[in-house]
Structures are given as C-alpha cells and as structure tokens.
Amino acid sequence: MKQTQWGLVVLYFLGGLLAAAQFGKISLTLPVVAEGFGRPVTGVAFLVSLVGIMGLLLGPMAGGIAAGLGIGRTFVAGLLLGGAMSVTQALMPPFWLFAVSRGVEGIAHLALVVAGPPLMAQAASDRHRPVVMGLWAVFFGASLALSAQMFPAILSLGGLPLLFVLHGGALLCLALILSRLVPVSARSDVSLNPIRVHRAIYGSVRYMAPGLGFVCYTFLFIAAVAFLPEALGRPALGTVLPVVTLLSTLAGGAVCARFAPHRVGAVGYVGTALGAVAAVAGLPGAVEICFAFMGLIPGASFASIPAWNTDPGDRARATGAIAQLGNLGTVTGTPIFAFVYVAGGASALFWLMAAVAGLGMVLTLWAGRRASGVSSAEMVDVP
C-alpha cells in the first residue's frame, strides 16, 4: 500500500506559498512600490492584476502544456522562471521592464498552481489524498497571512530589493531541491491551439467540474473580505474572516475523505447563503458562520480533482480549468461588489452573496453528479 510522501507534500506546499507571494509581494506593498517608481498608487495597482490575468487567459493552455511536458517538469520550470523574475525585479529596473517581468511572472505563477495540485495528489496515499488537497487549498490565504507578518521587517531592513531577492532566492533554491525529487513522466504531444485545448477541457465534465464548483467561491471571498469590514464598520473582520475560512478549508478537505466532494461543496454554498441571509437579519455571529461554511468550498473543489481524475495529466487539465474559472471569479467579483455596495449598502452585499452562493450550489451539484456518472474505468470511485 502506498504511503504518503510527507516530505514532498511539504516542499510542494512551500512552492504554493511562494507562488501566492507573487501576488502578496506587490498587493501588500503597493504604497512602497508606488514610492519606489515615483508614481501614485493608482498608477501601479495594475501590477497586481497582471499575474491573475495570465491565469484567466491561459489557464487551460497551461493545463494542457503541463499534461504534455509532465507536471514535475512544469513545476520546476515555474520555480525557475518565477525566481528569475523576482531577482530581476530586485534590480528595480525601469517601470516598463518591471511591468513586463510581472507579466512573465504570471506565466510562472500559472505553472506552479496548475502543476502543484496533481503533484500533491500523486505524493499522497488514497487515505490522505483529500486531506492533502485541503492543505493545498489554503496555500493562498496562508501565504498572505504569513507575508503580512514578515514583509514589514524585511522592508525595514532592505526595502523592496531585499524582499524581491529573498523571494527569488527561495524559489530558485526550491527548484534546485525539487529538480532531483519530482516524478519525471514521459512527454506527450502538446497542442498550442487554444480552441482545441479549450474544447478538450470544457468538453469533459471531469475536467471542468472542479472549476465550476470553485468560480463562485473566488467571486465571493476576495471581494467580501475587501468590502464587508468597511460596510459593517468592523475593521477586525479583515483579519478574522480569512482565518475562519482557512480553518474550515482544511476541514473541508478532510471531510471529503468520507463524503463526495460535490456534496461537501454544496453544503458549503448552502451554509454561505443562509449565513448571508442571517446577516441581513442582524443575527450575532452570522458573518463568521457564513465564512466558516464558505471555507468548505475550496477544500472540496481541490479534493474533487483527484476524485474525478486518476491520471496526472488529466489532473493538470482539471487544474487548468480551476485556474481560469477561479481567476474569472476573482477579476469580476470586486467591481461587481463595489457597484452593489454603492447602490445598496451592506444589506445589498449580503443578498448578492446569497444569490451567488445559490448559483454555486446548483453548479456544484450539477457538475458533481455528471462527473460521478463517468465510468469507473475513467475515474476512481466517489463515496
């Protein structure tokens, strides 16, 4: 019986933390970045979005390329490319070149987040796989929480150049370590035809189901954390809500060891909707309960990748769909929340959350039931 390779799991998760830091090193230091280039904050804010836009545009392509080249090679290549870009940024080049490096960094980020989940799944035993996937699901929030604690001290010691060179050095060191440890699979044909790649991924419910369960979560989470603390006059929620969600995300992965991922995700959406309605009614603790249920969704979404796809290449394709649909939610959520907040205040935000959560429940159950109907010759059994 296969044993979980916990050492590899930790190294892959560290790669995920460093991938998320590609967002955090700019989003958490925007005023410093603006000062460094002599521009207003509004003039550098797009540097954050450049990384996510690559995921939105190229997610399925990255999944297909990772499946062809091998997930191990793809992960190491992402580490090397990301490290090179961070070291380049440490030189504080002209702003146009810095912006270009952020675009290239988006490609590196995509390689890491597409290859990371199937590598984590491959390193885990059948028993521990849902727990391991739940761990991967917290990489973004955990990285931002750690970064918020570490960055001020680093900036005080050496400013942005020190921050960027430490980030790049960590990526390159991890690439050196993993280059000897990652599984090396045979190469297969790689299609660079975007129409063919998208048709292949979105023509298979096994590939797109995890992303369909994830898109409404990303739409809700980042935008809600951004607006609710101010809308409710409770600044502390900006710290409390991500922590609550991180804990329940870990629980969501563990619960998927006993229940089908789409059922766990659906429960998460139902609880999110009910919590949002309770918040409109002013019930104490409703917002926290809403986010506790919301945290079940990413753990279930990532657990569904190996549950419905047994081959590492198929898992990479499914993760490509998650990357694209997840970024679709991230990109659209914040501006829509802003419009609704201005038009209707906090109550309107909660009604929006309840409606989107209802849509998420429908998509999750539909996709999960369709994926569960795929023949056992093509997938593992779902409880």
Residues 168 and 308 reside in one and the same domain:
no
Residues 32 and 91 reside in one and the same domain:
yes
Residues 110 and 208 reside in one and the same domain:
no
Amino acid at 111: A
Residue 4: which of 184, 135, 114, 110 has the closest Cα?
Answer: 135
- Give a yes or no: residue 213 inside a domain: yes
Residues 18 and 167 reside in one and the same domain:
yes
Range of the domain at 154: 1-129+136-181
Residues 349 and 258 reside in one and the same domain:
yes
Task: Note the pLDDT of residue 347.
Answer: 93
Residues 165 and 302 reside in one and the same domain:
no
CA dihedral sign of residues 261, 267, 269, 271: negative
Residues 34 and 143 reside in one and the same domain:
yes
Residues 149 and 268 reside in one and the same domain:
no
Distance (Å, whole) CA 356 – CA 352: 6
Residue 381 token pair: 């059994």
Tally of domains in the chain: 2
- Give a yes or no: residue 227 inside a domain: yes
- Give a yes or no: residue 96 inside a domain: yes
Structural contact between residues 302 and 253, judged by C-beta atoms closer than 8 angstroms: yes
Q: What is the full per-residue pLDDT of the chain (383 aa) written as tens digits?
A: 678 899 999 999 999 999 989 988 988 888 899 999 999 888 888 887 788 788 788 777 777 788 778 889 999 999 999 999 999 999 999 999 999 999 999 999 999 998 998 899 889 888 888 888 888 888 888 888 888 889 999 999 999 999 999 999 999 999 999 999 988 776 666 666 677 777 877 888 888 989 998 999 989 988 888 788 888 888 888 778 888 888 898 888 888 888 899 999 999 999 999 999 999 998 999 999 999 999 999 989 988 988 888 888 888 888 888 888 988 888 888 788 888 988 988 999 999 999 999 999 999 999 988 887 753 334 433 33
Residues 142 and 228 reside in one and the same domain:
no
Q: What is the DSSP-derived secondary structure letter of residue 256?
A: T
- Give a yes or no: residue 341 inside a domain: yes
Residues 150 and 225 reside in one and the same domain:
no
State the CATH number of the domain containing residue 256: 1.20.1250.20
What are the residue ranges of helices labelled H in the chain? 6-27, 30-37, 41-44, 46-69, 71-90, 95-123, 129-137, 139-178, 194-202, 205-231, 237-255, 261-280, 286-294, 296-308, 312-372
- Give a yes or no: residue 194 inside a domain: no
Q: What is the DSSP-derived secondary structure letter of residue 2?
A: P
CA dihedral sign of residues 183, 177, 306, 209: negative
